[in-house]
């Protein structure tokens, strides 16, 4: 079901509030949310380019990933907690439909929606098992007891990976997201998505988020006091010496609670932002995130602190999508690659992939 809560609402000495929200939303919203965004912002002579931001480039997010969650768990979610549109719009020209289905017409639409879900589950199980499961499932009945029995069977020799199979079930699934933005970008989001012309599911989510933020009480932060989602403690002070660390701070020098918050934001991908996890567990995840190549930098976009306003004038490279805030991601080496120059040998190795894709 729809859920929305404020994880952290922070107010700087001056400037824009920073708000992190966790919400549960239908996965269909993700497709809607990538529209109406700009590709870059320019600050003086310094350009920031954001390739993948939800709705506007100013919103940082981490989402529960279909690629990360086992198929059996995905199927159970699709069957136990199916997303069904609260109302179905009737067919018509344009993007918004010509009204709403009512009474028996709505009931028929719901039955067809669930029938399509059942067919998708059969197809997903067939892909996983490397054979047509339709007849077997038809005899046993498509219900969770039978699916749970299948879960204990040995893996087949030939099957399709969950990163492909799980996509079949996304229209019936909910997704958890952690989203962080400054109030200017939240305002733009609300302007676009609270409007009656927005997709109904995204409109409902936007209005819930607006009310959640309006009802939240911001925590006043001082300079270099950190906004940390999934951390309920007193905001820590940490003032890295930015003049000496560019283009990246030593990982061990990053404040441990900043590392822990980033790890928990990353765990949203597995629907488990465990607030009780040990610092050691958080550090292990953080090391994997920032020690990989390419860097997994998005979980470090949610942690930030208010620096002196003069910082960005002197060092514009530290500006980010969080207006007026120093973002943890900007402290990491290789957080944004400006030029990609693969070797000739690496490019040559792409040949089989391109041929298989028909390119």
- 48 pLDDT band, cuts 50/70/90, is very low
Average pLDDT over residues 156-180: 84
- Summarised one tens digit per residue, pLDDT across range 254-302 is 899 999 999 999 999 877 777 678 999 999 999 888 888 888 889 999 9
83 neighbors 27 (Cβ within 8 angstroms): yes
Average pLDDT over residues 33-54: 41
Average pLDDT, the chain: 81
- 138 pLDDT band, cuts 50/70/90, is low
- Residue 272: CB atoms within 10 Å: 11
b/e per residue 104-141 (b: at least 16 CB within 10 A): eebeebeeebeeebeebbbbbbbbbbeeebeeebeeee
Window from 62-76, 77-91, 206-220, 324-338 with minimum mean pLDDT: 62-76
- 47 pLDDT band, cuts 50/70/90, is very low
Q: Which two tokens stand for residue 185?
A: 């970008």
Instruction: Give the angle 303-271-255 at the CA atoms, nearest 5°.
Output: 25
What does the pLDDT read at residue 244?
Answer: 54
Average pLDDT over residues 64-81: 83
Given the structure tokens 């404040």, which residue do they identify?
255
Average pLDDT over residues 151-155: 52
Q: Regarding predicted confidence, which is higher, 152 or 39? A: 152
Window from 149-158, 175-184, 249-258, 320-329 with minimum mean pLDDT: 149-158
The rounded distance, in Å, linking the Cα atoms of 63 and 67 is 11
Alpha carbon of residue 308 to chain centroid = 30
**What is the residue-wise DSSP string for 321-349?**
SSTTSEEGGGGSTTSS-S-----HHHHHH
What does the pLDDT read at residue 8?
Answer: 97
Most confident of 162-171, 316-325, 349-358: 316-325
Cis peptide upstream of residue 90 (ω within 30 degrees of 0): no
The secondary structure element, H or E, covering residue 70 is none
Nearest partner of 209 among 55, 8, 6, judged by Cα: 6
> What is the model's pTM?
0.84
The rounded distance, in Å, linking the Cα atoms of 124 and 21 is 32
Helix (H, G, I), strand (E, B) or coil at 5: strand
**Strand-pair partners of 49:** 40
Helix (H, G, I), strand (E, B) or coil at 78: helix
For β-strands 18-26 and 3-11, DSSP reports them as: antiparallel
Return the CA Rg of the chain: 23
Q: Regarding predicted confidence, which is higher, 22 or 97? A: 22
- Summarised one tens digit per residue, pLDDT across range 108-133 is 999 999 999 988 888 887 777 766 66
Q: Regarding predicted confidence, which is higher, 50 or 305? A: 305
**Strand-pair partners of 6:** 21
286 neighbors 215 (Cβ within 8 angstroms): no
**Strand-pair partners of 100:** 89
Average pLDDT over residues 174-197: 93
> How many Cα neighbours within 13 Å face the side chain of 166?
20
150 neighbors 159 (Cβ within 8 angstroms): no
């Amino acid at each position: 079901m729809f859920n929305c809560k404020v994880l952290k609402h922070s107010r700087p000495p001056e400037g824009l509030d920073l708000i992190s929200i966790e919400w549960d939303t239908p996965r269909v919203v993700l497709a809607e949310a990538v529209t109406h965004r700009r590709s870059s912002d320019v600050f003086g002579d310094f350009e920031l380019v954001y390739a993948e931001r939800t709705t506007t480039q100013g919103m940082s997010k981490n989402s529960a990933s279909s690629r990360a969650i086992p198929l059996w768990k995905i199927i159970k979610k699709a069957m136990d907690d199916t997303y069904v549109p609260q109302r179905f719009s009737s067919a018509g020209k344009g993007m918004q439909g010509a009204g709403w289905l009512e009474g028996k017409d709505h009931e028929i639409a719901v039955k067809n929606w669930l029938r399509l879900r059942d067919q998708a589950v059969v197809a997903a199980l067939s892909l996983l098992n490397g054979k047509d499961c339709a007849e077997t499932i038809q005899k046993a009945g498509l219900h969770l007891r039978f699916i749970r029995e299948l879960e204990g069977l040995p893996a087949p020799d030939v099957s399709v990976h969950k990163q492909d199979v799980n996509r079949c079930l996304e229209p019936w699934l909910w997704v958890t997201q952690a989203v962080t933005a400054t109030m200017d970008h939240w305002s733009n989001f609300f302007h676009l998505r609270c409007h009656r012309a927005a997709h109904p599911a995204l409109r409902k989510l936007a209005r819930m988020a607006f009310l959640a933020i309006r009802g939240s009480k911001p925590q006043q932060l001082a300079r270099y006091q950190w906004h940390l989602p999934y951390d309920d403690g007193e905001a820590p002070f940490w003032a890295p010496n930015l003049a000496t660390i560019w283009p990246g701070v030593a990982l061990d020098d990053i404040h441990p609670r900043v590392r822990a918050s980033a790890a928990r934001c990353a765990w949203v991908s597995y629907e488990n932002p465990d607030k009780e996890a040990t610092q050691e567990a958080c550090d292990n995840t953080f090391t994997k995130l920032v020690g990989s190549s390419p860097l997994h930098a998005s979980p470090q976009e949610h942690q930030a602190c208010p620096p002196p306003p003069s910082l960005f004038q002197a060092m514009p490279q530290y500006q980010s999508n969080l207006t007026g805030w120093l973002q943890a991601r900007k402290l990491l080496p290789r957080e944004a690659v400006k030029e990609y120059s693969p070797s000739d040998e690496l490019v040559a190795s792409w040949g089989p992939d391109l041929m298989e894709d028909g390119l």
